[in-house]
Chain A
Amino acid sequence: MVHILYIEDEKEIGNWVKEELIEKGYKVTWLLSGEGVEKYLSMADIVILDVMLPGLDGFSIGKRIKNEYQKLPILMLSARTAVEDKIEGLGFADDYVTKPFHPKELIARVEVLLRRFNKKDQIIELQHLTIDPQDFQIVNRETREEILLTGKQYAIFQYLFRHANQILTKEQIYESVWEEVYIENDKTLMVHIRYLREKLEKDPANPTIIETIRGIGYRLKE
């Protein structure tokens, strides 16, 4: 079960967010300030952190946490919307959500972070495929055959999978997988996606797993 450490001093909001998160099946530890946060860090899968807190503020707490636990995602939740605050927050945190927010939005962002940091260990079913996030084994449930990908196909799929439901631009994917600068109108990525679809999609001509977002890039739809 994913364990969320939530730090918020405003009781009404804290209670509501906690309830919403518990309802979605997360285990939640809610603290009213940063005091004693160290005890819970080793158990937490993600930290949701308010900025304006009594005592040490959220930015300072967040920086401390990130120093010790680089692989622990931090989501800042703040009523401070100034550009400077966002920049400071994103200097260490992995996402910055401003208040007021819709619970759906918060949960979607939490999910994205959990996926990105590989914090979800249960096997994921993606249409006719079963994916084990630990060893990244892909099995076609209908044929019970494992789908083997080449190095680049694997890297692309893994990147899309970690950012499932997010639209990724061609530049983002290319630069993350090839680790070099994307040159406009380069067809390499398109060709690799085509081969990837031939292996993954039931009907590669009408892809339903890797969606093309015309003019922008691609999205892996869960």
Chain B
Amino acid sequence: MKFFRSLLAKYMLIIITALFLFQFIIFLTATLLFNTGMAKERNENFMPTVIEDKWHEQASNLENDQKKINDFFARWKEQYPDSSMFWINEKGTLQLQLDLEENVPSNWTATTTARFIKERYDSDPFTVIAFVGKEEKEGFVVFEIPRDKLNKEFYEEYGDLLLGIGVIILILFIAISFLFFRSIQKRLIYVQEAMEIRDTDHLPVQIDVKKQDEIGQLELTFNKMVDELKKSKRREQEEEQLRRKLIANLSHDLRTPLTKLQANLSILQNEDQTEVGRQIIQVMEDSIQSVDGLMDNLISYTLLTASKYKYSPEKVDMIRFLRTSLASWYPLFEQEQFEVDIQLDSVKIGEWYVDPLWMERILDNLFQNVLRHAKSGRYIGVRIDTTSTYEVIVMTDHGKGMKHDSDEKGAGIGLSIVDVMIRGLDLEWELASTENGTTIQIKKHI
């Protein structure tokens, strides 16, 4: 990034401009005022410093002579009509006065003099005290003039104006700084909001980069990240596609020969068979079903443990769900002459937040297990129950229990799937198995 495009450079520019502008405008104003206002209209003689110097100078040239001093006063009066003057002689007596408005003591002591000086110092009227003559022994002359008749000093006259200009420039600087930072803030908020927008694929969308400064760089980096995310998502989808295809092909390639086997067995079954022949065909058909189920479970288990099994939970009315599942399993239990004992009306349970396909798989595996391994009991009971903390689905069979070696093995993987799925659905399950049967409880915390 170029330095001159950065926000830092911009802000430095604002500060430097403000500083230089401040100096420059003050200087310019002062010069302008000085050159125009002062020189033209002001008489130098009305400057306090000029008066002071002149009074001192002329007083030092005087002598202790009433007439001369009177003339001196008259000359000054001519030039400064609003002024008043008086002379205190060497004895401390008020010797001469001109247009004095206030009462001045006639006899001056050291105290009177000190009080007078103290009173007049830096106040109105403007007062100048000077000794008569060079010896400082012949008394002193005092010149008074109201301050409003005098010229003001330059800073006295224009100080407020200059201060005002300074304040305006300062306020301007603060306002520009404020606008500058607000524009940054606005852009940051915009970037934040843009980052929160999601595309149809649930990934963030790219931001339109307008400027090449720090925020622009941030946006560029963000866009790069979005790009990488999209790529990675695409890769994941491709892998997913490949995996699905592989499984589909594998499933197809394994099941086609099984189907052929089934086809040939069926043809064989249509021929005249001995009792042994029929039994062999039956065993082979059962084996086909068993291999089929195992393949299904194996694929599911692989997917489940790799967290690749599709999971989309929703609210499910469990009673209705159980009834539908049982409706599809009932004929199979009926065929095997099971007593099917269903009690779903006794208590009411709420909706469960589960993936119906997972739940279906759990129930299918459990019912399949009962059909395969608890055939001897000829009983399946399904009921629902509630406790203060749980809603429970209870499945009971009267088989010989899980420990007993069933004629058909392979229950392991089916139950492993049930276990992984139940935990995945945030449910709990308990399995109690004795020689007189097995009870499975699927529990949901209320």
Q: B248 to A215, Cβ gap below 8 A?
A: no
Q: Given A100-B258, A103-B266, A215-B345, verify A82-B327 contact (CB < 8 Å).
A: no
Asked if B174 lies at the interface with its beta carbon under 8 angstroms from chain A, I say no
Task: Give the segment of A141-149, A164-172, A194-202 that binds chain B.
Answer: A164-172
List the count of A-B residue pairs having beta carbons below 8 Å apart: 104
Q: Select one of B244, B256, B258, B259 contacting A82, CB under 8 A.
A: B244
Asked if B267 lies at the interface with its beta carbon under 8 angstroms from chain A, I say yes
Asked if B21 lies at the interface with its beta carbon under 8 angstroms from chain A, I say no
Please report the C-alpha to C-alpha distance between residue A23 and residue B292 in the assembled complex, in whole angstroms. 27
Query: Which residues of chain B (329-350) have a CB below 8 Å from chain A?
Result: 330-331, 340-345, 348
Could you give, for residues 158-179 of chain A, a 1 whenever the CB lies within 8 Å of some chain B CB and a 0 otherwise?
0000000011111110000000
Q: B344 to A102, Cβ gap below 8 A?
A: no
Asked if A101 lies at the interface with its beta carbon under 8 angstroms from chain B, I say yes
Q: B248 to A80, Cβ gap below 8 A?
A: yes
**Closest chain B residue, CB of each to CB of A15:** B263
Residues of chain B within 8 A of A172, CB atoms compared: 324
Residues of chain B within 8 A of A215, CB atoms compared: 323, 326, 340-345, 382
Q: Given A102-B285, A184-B348, A216-B327, verify A169-B259 contact (CB < 8 Å).
A: no
Please report the C-alpha to C-alpha distance between residue A17 and residue B253 in the assembled complex, in whole angstroms. 19
Q: B255 to A100, Cβ gap below 8 A?
A: yes
Q: B267 to A216, Cβ gap below 8 A?
A: no
Could you give, for residues 211-235 of chain B, a 1 whenever the CB lies within 8 Å of some chain A CB and a 0 otherwise?
0000000000000000000000000
Count contacts on B: residues with CB < 8 A to the other chain.
44
**Closest chain B residue, CB of each to CB of A166:** B327
Interface residues on A, range: 35 or more
Query: Which residues of chain A (45-78) have a CB below 8 Å from chain B?
Result: 52, 78
Could you give, for residues 69-100 of chain B, a 1 whenever the CB lies within 8 Å of some chain A CB and a 0 otherwise?
00000000000000000000000000000000
Chain A interface secondary structure, helix, strand, loop or mixed?
mixed
Residues of chain A within 8 A of B341, CB atoms compared: 215
- Would you give the shortest CB distance from A56 to chain B, in whole angstroms? 16
**Closest chain A residue, CB of each to CB of B324:** A169
Residues of chain A within 8 A of B344, CB atoms compared: 215
Could you give, for residues 308-332 of chain B, a 1 whenever the CB lies within 8 Å of some chain A CB and a 0 otherwise?
0010000000011001101110110
- Would you give the shortest CB distance from A107 to chain B, in whole angstroms? 11
Q: A213 to B348, Cβ gap below 8 A?
A: no
- Would you give the shortest CB distance from A53 to chain B, in whole angstroms? 11
Residues of chain A within 8 A of B267, CB atoms compared: 16, 19
Q: B252 to A79, Cβ gap below 8 A?
A: yes
Please report the C-alpha to C-alpha distance between residue A170 and residue B327 in the assembled complex, in whole angstroms. 10
Q: List 23 A-B contacts (CB under 8 A).
A: A12-B260, A13-B256, A13-B263, A16-B266, A52-B252, A78-B252, A79-B251, A81-B296, A81-B299, A82-B251, A83-B357, A99-B256, A100-B255, A100-B289, A100-B292, A101-B262, A102-B262, A167-B330, A168-B327, A182-B320, A215-B326, A215-B342, A215-B345
Interface residue ranges, B against A (CB under 8 Å): 244, 247-248, 251-256, 258-264, 266-267, 285, 288-289, 292, 295-296, 299, 310, 319-320, 323-324, 326-328, 330-331, 340-345, 348, 357, 382
